Amino acid sequence: MAEQKTNVVAWTSQGPDDIIYRSTNDDLRTITSVTVPEHAVALFIRDGQLMGVLDPGRHTITSANIPWLTKLYNLALGYKETPFKVWIVFVSLKMFNGKWGIRSMIKAAKEYEVPIVLMGNGDFQFRINDVAVFYTQVLGGLNAYSTGDVNSFMKSFINEQIIQQMNNQYYMDIMENLEKASTNTKILIEPYFAQRGIELLSLKINEVLTTDEDRQKVFNYLQFSSKNGEAFRRYEVMESMANAIGESTGGAAMGAGMLLFPQMYQQLQQQPVQGVQQQQPQATKVMCPTCGGLNEYPYKYCNSCGQPSPLIAPGQGAPAQQQAAPAGNTGVSADGGKKFKNCPYCGEDISSLPKTPKFCPYCSEQIN
């Protein structure tokens, strides 16, 4: 450290995180010793202008061995001790570590360019590789001559650059590969550091986050934009409808649900699912509101309990006149019982059923 009225200027109190140091004395005598550490350089500053740079080592300041100080020497004539009115600023060339943290907005994903909140943090490493440019663009321009000033500049500068470059990327791309996103971001912001005499050695993105609300938006988009996402959405719609019908009370609500459920199911099935191979339509099954048995839609009477379908108006019973079973109507099933091709009472064709039902689904008479 420089002392008042001495001929020695040195940086003796440097800490591990100190980037720059300015001497406390601006009166340099004609023969002054300046000792520059191995990992630093010394800048000579007069009236805010950079007059010269000293490399590491011990230097004796005279107008003879440092020509660029001659002008200062001439301006100082008349002083009894001929001082050089100049600041000496030491700049460390070591590698320094820093941390960054941002909060901004970013596009969610490709084909879903909805802006969401972006919160990120990480580490970076840098060093000063062009002291003349660093002085003119940072120190002199900001009138900042302390490590605190430089650290404040570095923090705000790198945050600004990271925000600008991340805004051109997608949240999901960064989330899926933090290492790749770190490399891309470093490459993009390196030129801006070089313009200020700073070499960006490394940049790491430790994590990126968003709000719970925005996270749910992204999750829903990824879920429904996937190969089977649309099919899953249909399943959820059907499940919600089934729950609503099950929670309803009263025969009217149950009957309306039995009518609406098959129709809406068929409409959903008719909508194409992108990326999913279409399957052949299958027979729609509906549940009997009385016993819970399954019947092919539409039906008149439940083939398990014989109760009328909600499609039949209240009070409407079985047909008044029953038809006799046509000839050749019966056969023998695998379990030894009778198997009918037609209902022996109403004559409706029931051969397409897997087995003869206990009650005819058309007239509700017990046939087996």
How confident is the model over 33-43, as pLDDT tens digits? 888 988 899 98
251 pLDDT above the threshold of 70: no
* Cβ pair 304, 357 in contact under 8 A: yes
Assess whether pLDDT exceeds 50 at residue 108. yes
Give the strand pairing for 40-46 and 49-54. antiparallel
How far apart are alpha carbons 295 and 299 in whole angstroms? 7
Residue 205 confidence (pLDDT): 95
Q: What is the mean pLDDT of the chain?
A: 76
For residues 203-225, give the mean pLDDT.
88
Run of H or E residues at 49: strand 49-54
Residue 313 pLDDT:
59
| pLDDT of 287 | 77
pLDDT at 211 over 70: yes
Q: Choose between 217 and 207: higher pLDDT.
A: 207
Q: How confident is the model at residue 291 (pLDDT cuts 50, 70, 90)?
A: confident
281 vs 25, higher pLDDT: 25
Candidates 208, 207, 198; CA nearest to 151 is: 198
Q: What confidence tier does 217 reach under pLDDT thresholds 50, 70, 90?
A: confident
For the chain, percent of residues with pLDDT exceeding 90? 26
**7 has pLDDT over 60:** yes
pLDDT of 201 strictly over 70: yes
State how far the Cα of 49 lies from the Cα of 230, in Å rounded to an integer. Answer: 67
Q: For 94, how many CA atoms within 13 A lie in the half-sphere containing its CB?
A: 15
pLDDT at 88: 86
